[in-house]
Structure 1
Amino acid sequence: MGVLDRFLSSKKDDKQEIWDLFDAGKSLMESQFYDRASVEFNKALTLDKDFASELIVDLYMEMQGSNPDAMIALGINILQHNPDNTEMANMLGNTYRKKGDLNAAKSMYQRCLKRDPYFKNASYNLAATIAKADVYDGTAVSSISEFESLSNFILPDNDEGEEKLYQIQEVAQKFVQASEEVETESDIKTSESLMDFLEDKSDGDQTKKAKNPVAEEKPDKNDESAQDPEQGESKEQKQIQIDPEASFKLIAQEYDLQQSETSELLKALGLYSLKHFHTDIAVNSFQKLVQLHPNQTDYKCFLVLANSLEGNQGKAIDSLQKILIENSYHRYSNVNLGYLFQKSGKTMKARTYFFITYKLLERSGGLYHIDQILKRAEEYFKEDRGKKALEFYEPLYEEINAPNLLNRIGKLQILFSKLDEAIQSFRRVLKVDGKNPEARDGLKQLHQKFLMQLDNAVKKHDYEDAAQAFEKAISILKNPKLLQRGIDLNRMIKNETRANQLERLLKQMEEKESNQKVLEKISLAEEAEKKGNFKAAVGYYEQAIRISPKHEIMVKMSDFCQRINRPELAGKISKWFNQYIENEKRKAALEMAAQHSAEEAK
C-alpha cells in the first residue's frame, strides 16, 4: 500500500499528529536535511510505532533508486525502532551496495543472518557482495542456481577430442597386446630349462617377430569402411570403447610429444578420464601437459581436479586458490573451486565463487575463454570498425594486460571521446613499461584535450566545468603555471579548501625546483673552483643564494674563501648575505601592502 492509499484509508482525525510529523519529515528529507527528518520520524514512531513504520517503509519503497542517502536515513530510523526487521536491513544492504559502500552492505546482510540464519535473500546478497557481483535478491538466487546444482566438475566440451580418441583405439589395443606378448616371450626365455636349451627348442628360426601395430597397414580391399571414406568410422570402430590406459601408453611411447596434435590427444584423454573418474590416467595426462605447457592455466587447473579425485579436497582447494592468485579471472578455476567448497559443506564460500564465475561469464558472453571475443574485436579493428571493436574490448578490459592491446584500446577511447577511460588504459601500460612511448604520447594528447576543455569552459564563464577539466589535466601532468590557474579557478567558485591544497602543492613544487637549481649552481661553483676560476665560482654561489637565500649556501661560500686563502672575503660575504635577506623581507612587505591596498580599492 502506498503512502497516498494509506492516507485515504486511515482516519485522519485519529492519526493527524502522526501525519503532520510524517509530512514534516518527508519535506525535510526532500530538502536533504536527513538528521532533522530523522527527528520528526522518530517522534511519529514514538506515538504509534506500527502505523508510522508502515508509512516510512512505504516511503522507502517509493524512493527506490532515486535518492540512496535519503533511503539510508529512512531505513536506519526504522531499524532503530524495530531492530528485528530483517527485510528492512536487507533492503538497506542493497542500497548501500548500489551506493558503493560494500562494507556497510556486508554489515547489514550479516545483521539479517544473525537474526534469521535462513533468510535466503540476505545469504545470497552477502555472497554476491563479497564477489562484487551486481545482482540482488531473487535475481541473485537464480543467477547461480545452475552452478549450485552441479554434480561434477565443469570442463570444456570434449566431443571432438573423444572422436580422435575413438580413432586410435584399435591401434592402442594392438599396441598393448603386442607389448604384453613381448613381455610374455621375455618371461618364457628367462625361465626355460637346461633340457629345452640342449634340445634346441628355442631355435632362432622358429621365433616369430612381433609386428609393429603402429606401422601403417594396407587397407583390405574387402573392407567396406576402407572402400567408402565418407562412411567415417567403421561399425567395429564405433563398438570399441575408449581404453584410457591403452591410449595413454600409445600416446606416451609412440607419439612425438613436441607436436601440437599430441597435446590435443593428451588433453582429450585427460578430460575423458577426469569425466569418467579414471584418476591415474587423468593425472598422468595433465602432468605431461603441464610439463609441456607450464604457462597454460587450464592444464594446471585440470591437474588439480584430477588429483582431487583421490579424495583430498582440502589440498585441491588450496591449489586452486594459488592458481587464482596468479590468474584471478580463470573461469574454470573459479567455478570448480566453488563446486569443491560446496562438496565440503562451505556454502557461503561456494556461492561467492559461483557469483565470481557468473560475473566473469556475463562479461565474456558465457564463454570460459576470452580468445574468441578478442579475435572478433581484432577483425572489427582491421575492418576500421573501431567503435564496434571497442564494444568487444571494454567488457574484458580488466583481463587484458598486453601493452600493445591496451594502447590500441586507449587510442580508440580517445577517438570516441572516452577520455577518462583512456587515461586508465595508458596508465596500465606504464605500470608494466614505464617508458612506453605510445602510452606517454597518449597521455600527452589527453592532457592537451583537457587543457582545451579548460580554456573553452573559461571562455563561456562556466567555471565549474573549467575546474573539472583542470582536475583531469593535473592528474596527468602538474606544472606551476597550471597549478596557479587551478588556484584562481577554485577561488572563483568559492572552493577555498581545494585552493589552499593547490597552493601548498605549488609551494612544494616551486621549492623542489629551486632546490634543484641551487644544486646545479653549487655543482658549477665547485667545478669552477677545481679549474682555478675563482671569480666564476663566486658568481655561481651568488646565483644560488639569489635563487634560495639559505644560510647553508652562505656557509659553503665562506668555506670556499678559506680554501683559496682569502679569509677576509668571508666577513664581507656574511655582511652582503644579511643585507640581501633584509632587502628581500622589505620587498615582500611592500608587495603585500600593495596587494592589500588593491583589494580594498575593489
Structure 2
Amino acid sequence: MSSLFNDLDVPYTASDTAVVEILENAYKLLKSRFYDRAKVEFNKALDEDHDLATQVVLALYRQMESSGDVEGLLALGVNVLNRDPGNVDLANLLGNAYRRQGNITQARNMYRHCLKHDPQFRNAAYNLAAMLARVPLFDGSAISAIAEFENLENFKYPEYETAVLENLVEQLRPPEAEEEDGRDTPAKEEPPKDETVEQIGEALSDLKGSGTEGAEEAGEPHPMGLLEHIEATMDPEDPDEYHALLNLAFSCLDKEEGRTAHLIFDKLLERDPENLDLTCFRILTDALQGETSSAEEQLNTFLKQHPNHRYANVNYGILLRRQRKTAQARTYFFIAHKLLERTKGEYNIATVLEEAERHEENEAARKALELYEPILDELNEPARINRVAGMLRTFNRPRNAQRAYKLTLKLDHRNTDAIKGLKEIRDGYLKELDKALRADQMAKAAELMNYALEITPSNELITRGIELFELTDNQRRVRELKELRDRLGAKATHRQVQAKLLQAQDFEAKRNYKAAIKAYEEAIRIEPRREVYKHMVALCERIQRPDLVEKISEWFNQKEGEYERQRREAKR
C-alpha cells in the first residue's frame, strides 16, 4: 500500500508496483530538496508509465502549491512539461509558480504556452490577464473576481434617481382634460427661450422620425425634451438644476441615448472642466453614437493620464469586450477589481477621503488609517500623506511610515516634514540596532541596518554597515555596500568637479584668465579628467600662452598616473 498514492488519492493496481516504487523514491528526494536527483527518478517513472506518472505529478503539484516550495514546484514541473508539452494543466500551474516567484516573463511564457495548445483554456487566459494587471489571483478565484464586470450589458456609471426623472416627466405631461364648464381656459404663457434652448429644440426636431416615435406614443417625453424643459425653467446657479441634468444624463446612458447625454456632459464640463468622472462619461457618449474607435482612443489616453480612475477602467474593459478584444478587456477588469478592493467597492475616491477625514476629526485614527492605507499610492497631497505617516508611526509601524514619507518626497522633494520624519525613523532604527548588538542579536541588527540604509545611505553609515555584515559573514552584502559607497563617492566627486568647471568657465567669460586657470587646476586636483584638461589647454592657446601648455600637460599626466595608482591600490 503506497502512502504517497493514498495521500494524493490516485488509484493504482498491483501491476503498477515498479512505477509506484520509483515515484515514492522521487517524492522522498523532492521532500529532501534533492531536486536534480528527484528529476531523474520522475523521468524514470514517466518512461515506465507515462499516464500514471503524469497523474501523480499533477496531484503532487497541486498539493505542493500550498506549501510555497516554489523551487520544488519548478524543478518538478518544468522537467515533466518538456516531455509532455501538451499538458496545459501543468503549464498553467507552472505559470502560477513563476508568478509567485516574481518571474513575470516565464509566467507569461507558460500561460501563452497553454493558450497555444488550448485557446479555450479559461484558467490560463484569466491568469494571464490577472498577471498583466498585477493582481495576485489565480484560476477560479481570478475567474470569479471579474465575473461582475463581464456580465455587465451597459457601461458602468452611477444609477440615476428615478424620483428626479419622474418629477421632470410629470412637469412636461399635459394636464388631463377637464369637463367642459363653459369657461375658457387662458392660454399658458410660454417661457422665454435662449439661444441654447432653441438649438436643443432644433436637435429634438431632427430626432423626430428617427426612432423617437415609440417614446412619444407611450406618452413619455423624449430625453431631449426633458433637457429643453430643464434649460427653460431652471436657473443654472441652482444646485437642483445641476442635479437634474446629471440624473437625466445617467438616464440617457442607461437608455443608450448618446446624443442627449453628449449635450448634457458637454454643458456640465464647461462649468467643471477638471471633473474626471464627467470626462469619462462624456467619452462614453461617443461610443453610444457609433464612434467606437474614437471612444477607445480617448479612453486609452485618459487612462494613461489617470490610471487609477475606476469608472474608466471598467468602461474601457466593456468597450474592448464589445469589440471582441476579450483578453485586453479582462486586464482592465482586473485593474478595476484591484482599485475597487482598495476603496471597498466605492468608485469615487473623494467619498472615501471625506469619510477618512471625518474619522480624523473624531480622533479615530485607526479607522481613518483603514481607509487611507489601501489608497496611499493614489494620494497626491503631501500634507495628507504626512498625516497618514504620522498615524502609522503612532501604531508603531515605522516601515510603512517610511514608505509614506518617501511618497511625499516624490511629490515634493523638499518637504521638511517628510525629511524630518524619515530622519526620526532612521534614528529609531539605529537606536534599536545598538540594543540588538548589545544583546548579540546579529540577525536583527543586520535587518535594522538595512532599514536605516534605505533612508540615508551616508558614507559613515555605509562603513558601519560593511563592518556589521563582515561580522555576520554576509560577503554579498559587503560587496553591495562597497559598490554603493564607490557610486556615491563618484557622484560627489563629479559634482565637485562640475562646480569648479562652471566656475572656471565663468571666470573665462569675465576675462579673469588667471582665476580660470586656478579653478581648472583645482578641478584636476579633485579628479584628473581629460575634459577639464582640454578646457585648460584651450584657454592657454586662446590667450597665446603656449609655454603653459607643455607644463600643464606634464603636470596633468603626473596627476592622472597618481590617481590611477590610488584606484588600483584601493581595489586590492
CA 1:521–1:318 in 2, change beyond 3 Å: closer, same or farther? Answer: closer
Structure 1 residue 480 displacement after superposition: 1.6
What is the percent sequence identity of the aligned residues? 35
3-state SS in 2 of match to 1:447: helix
2:301 alignment partner, one of 322, 326, 349: 322
Q: Deviations over 1:113-144 (max 9, x none)?
A: 21122222222222222222333222322232
Structure 1 residue 44 displacement after superposition: 2.8
1:254-403 equivalences in 2 (<5 Å): 254-403=233-382
Letter aligned with residue 278 of structure 2: Y
Structure 1 residue 24 displacement after superposition: 4.4
Instruction: Indicate the residue corresponding to 1:411 in structure 2.
Output: 390
Structure 1 residue 243 displacement after superposition: 4.4
Structure 1 residue 50 displacement after superposition: 2.8
Whole-Å Cα distance in 2 between the matches of residues 12 and 398 of structure 1?
Answer: 57
Kept in 1, the 8 Å contact 2:111–2:128? The answer is yes
Question: What TM-score do you get using the length of structure 1 for normalisation?
Answer: 0.73
Instruction: Indicate the residue corresponding to 1:154 in structure 2.
Output: 156
CA 1:498–1:8 in 2, change beyond 3 Å: closer, same or farther? Answer: closer
1:52 aligned onto 2:31: no
CA 1:456–1:12 in 2, change beyond 3 Å: closer, same or farther? Answer: farther
Aligned residues: 535
Whole-Å Cα distance in 2 between the matches of residues 467 and 587 of structure 1?
Answer: 31
Letter aligned with residue 35 of structure 1: D
1:160-175 equivalences in 2 (<5 Å): 162-169=162-169
Kept in 2, the 8 Å contact 1:169–1:240? The answer is no
Instruction: Indicate the residue corresponding to 2:143 in structure 1.
Output: 141
Letter aligned with residue 379 of structure 1: R
Letter aligned with residue 445 of structure 1: E
Instruction: Indicate the residue corresponding to 1:64 in structure 2.
Output: 65
504-513 vs 127-136, which moves further: 504-513
CA 1:518–1:87 in 2, change beyond 3 Å: closer, same or farther? Answer: closer
1:122 aligned onto 2:101: no
Whole-Å Cα distance in 2 between the matches of residues 591 and 277 of structure 1?
Answer: 73
CA 1:2–1:139 in 2, change beyond 3 Å: closer, same or farther? Answer: farther
1:460-539 equivalences in 2 (<5 Å): 460-510=439-489
Kept in 1, the 8 Å contact 2:160–2:248? The answer is no
Letter aligned with residue 138 of structure 1: G
Whole-Å Cα distance in 2 between the matches of residues 572 and 132 of structure 1?
Answer: 62
3-state SS in 2 of match to 1:497: helix
Whole-Å Cα distance in 2 between the matches of residues 591 and 275 of structure 1?
Answer: 73
CA 1:256–1:475 in 2, change beyond 3 Å: closer, same or farther? Answer: same
Q: Deviations over 1:347-404 (max 9, x none)?
A: 2222222222222222222222223322222222222222222111112223222222
CA 1:437–1:18 in 2, change beyond 3 Å: closer, same or farther? Answer: same
CA 1:241–1:500 in 2, change beyond 3 Å: closer, same or farther? Answer: same
Instruction: Indicate the residue corresponding to 2:89 in structure 1.
Output: 87
CA 1:14–1:246 in 2, change beyond 3 Å: closer, same or farther? Answer: closer
Whole-Å Cα distance in 2 between the matches of residues 84 and 29 of structure 1?
Answer: 24
Letter aligned with residue 251 of structure 2: Y
Whole-Å Cα distance in 1 between the matches of residues 125 and 426 of structure 2?
Answer: 46
Whole-Å Cα distance in 2 between the matches of residues 326 and 399 of structure 1?
Answer: 13
Bigger radius of gyration, 1 or 2? Answer: 1
1:206-285 equivalences in 2 (<5 Å): 210=189, 212=191, 241=220, 243-285=222-264
3-state SS in 1 of match to 2:482: helix
Q: Deviations over 1:505-543 (max 9, x none)?
A: 33454465567778999999999xxxxxxxxx9x99999
Structure 1 residue 477 displacement after superposition: 1.1
Structure 1 residue 157 displacement after superposition: 1.7
3-state SS in 2 of match to 1:46: helix
Structure 1 residue 553 displacement after superposition: 11
Instruction: Indicate the residue corresponding to 1:420 in structure 2.
Output: 399
CA 1:80–1:267 in 2, change beyond 3 Å: closer, same or farther? Answer: same
CA 1:321–1:37 in 2, change beyond 3 Å: closer, same or farther? Answer: same
CA 1:497–1:7 in 2, change beyond 3 Å: closer, same or farther? Answer: closer
502-511 vs 130-139, which moves further: 502-511
1:454 alignment partner, one of 424, 433, 442: 433
Question: What TM-score do you get using the length of structure 2 for normalisation?
Answer: 0.77
Instruction: Indicate the residue corresponding to 1:32 in structure 2.
Output: 33
Structure 1 residue 573 displacement after superposition: 13
1:99 alignment partner, one of 98, 101, 114: 101
Whole-Å Cα distance in 1 between the matches of residues 499 and 329 of structure 2?
Answer: 62
46-55 vs 106-115, which moves further: 46-55
3-state SS in 2 of match to 1:63: helix
Whole-Å Cα distance in 2 between the matches of residues 153 and 438 of structure 1?
Answer: 43
Letter aligned with residue 289 of structure 2: E
Q: Deviations over 1:134-185 (max 9, x none)?
A: 33222322232232222222221212xx4234334465578xxxxxxxxxxx
Kept in 1, the 8 Å contact 2:308–2:339? The answer is yes
Q: What are the ranges of 5 or more consecutive residues in structure 1 without an aligned counterpart?
A: 175-207, 215-238, 528-536, 559-569, 594-602
Q: What are the ranges of 5 or more consecutive residues in structure 2 without an aligned counterpart?
A: 175-186, 194-217, 507-515, 538-548
Whole-Å Cα distance in 1 between the matches of residues 502 and 444 of structure 2?
Answer: 45
Letter aligned with residue 340 of structure 1: L
CA 1:557–1:209 in 2, change beyond 3 Å: closer, same or farther? Answer: closer
Kept in 1, the 8 Å contact 2:230–2:245? The answer is yes
449-458 vs 165-174, which moves further: 165-174
Structure 1 residue 274 displacement after superposition: 1.9
Letter aligned with residue 392 of structure 1: L
- Considering only aligned residues, what root-mean-square deviation do their CA atoms show, in Å? 4.7
Q: Deviations over 1:427-478 (max 9, x none)?
A: 2222221111222112212221222232222222233322222222122112
Whole-Å Cα distance in 2 between the matches of residues 343 and 51 of structure 1?
Answer: 44
Letter aligned with residue 156 of structure 2: I
3-state SS in 2 of match to 1:295: coil
Whole-Å Cα distance in 2 between the matches of residues 382 and 301 of structure 1?
Answer: 32
CA 1:415–1:33 in 2, change beyond 3 Å: closer, same or farther? Answer: farther
469-478 vs 128-137, which moves further: 128-137
3-state SS in 1 of match to 2:65: coil
Structure 1 residue 485 displacement after superposition: 0.8
